[in-house]
Structure 1
């Protein structure tokens, strides 16, 4: 596989990388970009946890300290982002440790 395929056609690079992995053709992999992508996946998950937590926390604070402005929308957002965090923790329990660190 050509290393520069990653820069020219990301989707095709992904497809070819998956095919090479499935076939066990590990010496043909674009290792440096594969490592970068895997690292980015972890970073993305952490960013999602942090973002969901910020939104959840803001709406919880608004709900508590601005009772005159309470709305179903705020409650809906609170439940939605709690569910998202629960789903993230179910899929990747180690993210709960990150969540506690961010909190």
Structure 2
């Protein structure tokens, strides 16, 4: 059973996007579930998907940068090894790997195999 769309729609979905973002998300998700694609606010939906993709990419790049810096420090500066570096290497690997691919443990093992 699918949820009902809100009865009191603002003039259009693009207006809803500007006035109540959370309700816009709920409405958009429901329209997608119901296959009512012609009613979608495509311009804003595309913008949100692109923004989400860029944000996820930046987060992954940042996590990888930190991990690689700690791996380099851990290998090169053996006398200065700290628990925080080890923690970042063992626990702090990027929390997300591309969906449908390897999990966190396998990702870490494949990335770090040369550094252990």
In the superposition, the TM-score normalised over structure 2's length comes to 0.66
SS of residue paired to 1:6: helix
Q: Does 1:35 align with 2:50?
A: no
Bigger fraction of residues in helix: 1
Q: Does 1:62 align with 2:103?
A: no
Aligned residues: 91
In the superposition, the TM-score normalised over structure 1's length comes to 0.74
Uncovered stretches (5+) of structure 2, i.e. residues with no partner:
1-11, 102-116
Higher relative contact order (CA 8 A, sep 6+): 1
Q: Is the 8 A contact 2:60 2:94 kept in 1?
A: no
Uncovered stretches (5+) of structure 1, i.e. residues with no partner:
94-103
User: Which portions of structure 1, spanning 4 or more consecutive aligned residues, are displaced by more than 4 angstroms?
Assistant: none
Deviations 1:23-63 (A, max 9, x none): 12212110000111111222122112211110011111221
The structure whose Rg is larger is 2
CA RMSD between the two structures: 2.1
Decide which of 47, 50, 60 is 2:61's aligned counterpart: 50
Q: Does 1:88 align with 2:97?
A: yes
Q: Does 1:15 align with 2:26?
A: yes
